[in-house]
Amino acid sequence: MKIELKIVKENKDGSADAQVKFDKEGLECLVQWGLVAMIKEGLETYKTRPEEFKEVITKKRKKKKEELDMDGRC
């Protein structure tokens, strides 16, 4: 696996312009860990604002009889 980060220019505001080189395994690793980081951040957001997202995190429920299609399918 190869992931190479080269700082091209440092900016006055503390940020930097960078060049990233990676192979296929490096890309897979970066994507995987990026998704993990986003999921963790989302979970932390739900913890701090539970009422706002109450309906987003619910268990799937079975449909009631009156919600079934005419032929009995859901």
> How confident is the model over 6-64, as pLDDT tens digits?
999 999 999 999 999 999 999 999 999 999 999 998 888 777 665 665 655 555 666 66
Q: Residue 25 contacts by C-beta under 8 Å, 6 or more apart in sequence?
A: 1, 2
What phi, psi does 22 have (nearest 5°)? Answer: -155, 155
Residue with tokens 């009995």: 72
Token pair belonging to 56: 């987003």
| pLDDT recorded at residue 42 | 85
Q: Domain boundaries in the chain?
A: 3-67
Residue 6 confidence (pLDDT): 96
